[in-house]
A and B are shown apart, each in its own frame.
Chain A
Amino acid sequence: METVPSLPPSPPNHRKLIGKLLAAVAAAFAFGFALVPLYDVLCAATGFNGKTEIKRDGFGVGGFSTRQDGAAPPSRIDRSRTVTVEFTGTVMPGLSWDMRPLTFNLEVHPGEMHQVMYLVRNTSDRPITGQAVPSVSPGKAAQHFDKVDCFCFSQQLLAPGESKELPLTFIVKPEMDSDIRHVTLSYAFFNAVKDKTALNNRE
Chain B
Amino acid sequence: MSHATTAPHETHHDAHYPGGIMRWLTTTNHKDIGSMYLTFALIMFFVGGAMILAVRAELFQPGLQLMQPEFFNQLIGIHALVMIFAALMPAATGFANWQIPLMIGAPDMALPRINNWGFWLLPPAAILLTLPFLLAVFGIGDGALNTGWTMYAPLSVQGGIGVDFAIFSIHILGISSILGSINVIVTIFNLRAPGMTMMKLPIFCWGWLITAFLLIATIPVLAGAVTMLLTDRHFGTHFFNAAGGGDPILFQHLFWFFGHPEVYILLLPVWGLMPHVLATFSRKPMYGYKAQVYSFIAIGLLSVVVWAHHFFTAGLPVPALLYFMYSTMAISLPLAVLFFCWIATMWKGAMSFETPMLFAQGFIIMFGVAGLTGLVLADVAADAQYHHSYFVIAHFHYALFAGGIMGVMTGVYYWLPKWTGYMYDEKLGKLHFWLTVISFNLTFMPQFFLGLAGMPRRIPDYALQFTEFNAISTVGAMILGFSQLIFAWNIWKCARGHANGLAPAEGRAWEGATGLEWELSSPPPHHSWEVQPDLRQPGA
Does A11 sit at the interface, judged by CB under 8 A? Answer: yes
Q: A14-B190, A39-B253, A191-B243 are in contact. Are A32 and B225 (CB under 8 A)?
A: yes
Q: Pick out which of these stretches binds chain A: B52-60, B132-140, B232-240.
A: B232-240
* Structural contact, A49 and B315, CB atoms closer than 8 A: yes
Instruction: Report how far A13 CA is from B192 CA in the complex, Å.
Output: 13
Q: A24-B217, A29-B224, A48-B316 are in contact. Are A35 and B254 (CB under 8 A)?
A: yes
Instruction: Report how far A31 CA is from B219 CA in the complex, Å.
Output: 11
Instruction: Report how far A202 CA is from B228 CA in the complex, Å.
Output: 21
Within 8 Å by CB of A32, from B186, B221, B315, lies: B221
Q: Which residues of B contact A46 (CB under 8 A)?
A: 317
Q: A29-B220, A29-B223, A199-B158 are in contact. Are A14 and B111 (CB under 8 A)?
A: yes
Q: Which residues of B contact A22 (CB under 8 A)?
A: 182
Instruction: Report how far A140 CA is from B320 CA in the complex, Å.
Output: 12
Instruction: Report how far A36 CA is from B224 CA in the complex, Å.
Output: 11
* Structural contact, B242 and A190, CB atoms closer than 8 A: yes
* Structural contact, B234 and A196, CB atoms closer than 8 A: yes
Does B216 sit at the interface, judged by CB under 8 A? Answer: yes
Q: Which residues of B contact A43 (CB under 8 A)?
A: 247
Give the nearest-CB partner of B529 in chain A: A6
Instruction: Report how far A2 CA is from B526 CA in the complex, Å.
Output: 13
* Structural contact, B223 and A32, CB atoms closer than 8 A: yes
Give the nearest-CB partner of A2 in chain B: B16
Q: Which residues of A contact B189 (CB under 8 A)?
A: 17
* Structural contact, B320 and A28, CB atoms closer than 8 A: no
* Structural contact, B221 and A199, CB atoms closer than 8 A: no
Q: A137-B315, A196-B234 are in contact. Are A36 and B107 (CB under 8 A)?
A: no
Instruction: Report how far A7 CA is from B317 CA in the complex, Å.
Output: 57
Within 8 Å by CB of A139, from B190, B228, B243, B315, lies: B315
Does B354 sit at the interface, judged by CB under 8 A? Answer: no
CB distance from A162 to the nearest CB of B (A): 20
Interface residues of A in 168-195 (CB under 8 A from B): 188, 190-192, 194
Q: Which residues of B contact A71 (CB under 8 A)?
A: none
* Structural contact, B224 and A33, CB atoms closer than 8 A: yes
Q: By DSSP majority rule, is chain B's interface helix, strand, loop, or mixed? A: helix
Q: A46-B317, A139-B315 are in contact. Are A7 and B243 (CB under 8 A)?
A: no
* Structural contact, A28 and B254, CB atoms closer than 8 A: no
Q: Across the A-B interface, how many residue pairs have beta carbons closer than 8 Å? A: 117
* Structural contact, B178 and A25, CB atoms closer than 8 A: yes
Does A21 sit at the interface, judged by CB under 8 A? Answer: yes
Does B458 sit at the interface, judged by CB under 8 A? Answer: no
Does B383 sit at the interface, judged by CB under 8 A? Answer: no
Does A18 sit at the interface, judged by CB under 8 A? Answer: yes
Interface residues of B in 293-323 (CB under 8 A from A): 315-317, 320
Q: Which residues of A contact B222 (CB under 8 A)?
A: 32
Give the number of residues in B that approach A within 8 Å (Cβ atoms). Answer: 50
CB distance from A172 to the nearest CB of B (A): 18
Per-position contact with A for B10-46: 1 when CB-CB < 8 Å, else 0? Answer: 0001001100000000000000000000000000000
Does B262 sit at the interface, judged by CB under 8 A? Answer: no
Instruction: Report how far A134 CA is from B223 CA in the complex, Å.
Output: 30
Does A131 sit at the interface, judged by CB under 8 A? Answer: yes
Within 8 Å by CB of B247, from A10, A25, A29, A49, lies: A49
Q: A35-B253, A49-B249, A190-B243 are in contact. Are A28 and B157 (CB under 8 A)?
A: no
Does B244 sit at the interface, judged by CB under 8 A? Answer: yes
Instruction: Report how far A174 CA is from B146 CA in the complex, Å.
Output: 47
Q: Which residues of A contact B182 (CB under 8 A)?
A: 18, 21-22
CB distance from A179 to the nearest CB of B (A): 12
CB distance from B24 to the nearest CB of A (A): 15
CB distance from A153 to the nearest CB of B (A): 13
Q: Which residues of A contact B190 (CB under 8 A)?
A: 11, 13-14, 17
Does B530 sit at the interface, judged by CB under 8 A? Answer: yes
* Structural contact, A188 and B247, CB atoms closer than 8 A: no
Q: Which residues of B contact A1 (CB under 8 A)?
A: 16-17
Does B388 sit at the interface, judged by CB under 8 A? Answer: no
* Structural contact, A18 and B186, CB atoms closer than 8 A: yes
Q: A7-B108, A196-B234 are in contact. Are A36 and B239 (CB under 8 A)?
A: yes
Q: Which residues of B contact A140 (CB under 8 A)?
A: 317
Instruction: Report how far A14 CA is from B183 CA in the complex, Å.
Output: 10
* Structural contact, A6 and B315, CB atoms closer than 8 A: no
Does B257 sit at the interface, judged by CB under 8 A? Answer: yes
* Structural contact, B225 and A7, CB atoms closer than 8 A: no
Q: Which residues of A contact B157 (CB under 8 A)?
A: 199
Does A101 sit at the interface, judged by CB under 8 A? Answer: no
**Could you write out 9 A-B pairs with CB less than 8 Å apart?**
A7-B107, A21-B186, A26-B220, A28-B220, A35-B254, A36-B239, A92-B242, A138-B317, A202-B158
Known: A29-B223, A196-B233. 16 other contacts (CB 8 A): A4-B13, A4-B107, A6-B531, A6-B532, A7-B530, A10-B110, A13-B190, A17-B185, A17-B190, A29-B224, A32-B224, A43-B247, A131-B243, A139-B315, A188-B242, A196-B234
Hey, which bits of chain A sit against chain B, CB under 8 A? 1-2, 4, 6-8, 10-11, 13-14, 17-18, 21-22, 24-26, 28-29, 31-33, 35-36, 39-40, 43, 46-50, 92-93, 131, 133, 137-140, 188, 190-192, 194, 196, 199-200, 202
Q: Which 9 pairs show the lowest CB-CB distances between chains A and B? A: A32-B224, A190-B243, A29-B220, A28-B220, A32-B221, A139-B317, A6-B530, A21-B182, A1-B16
Hey, which bits of chain B sit against chain A, CB under 8 A? 13, 16-17, 107-108, 110-111, 157-158, 178, 181-182, 185-186, 189-191, 216-225, 228, 233-234, 236, 239, 241-244, 247, 249-250, 253-254, 257, 315-317, 320, 527, 530-532
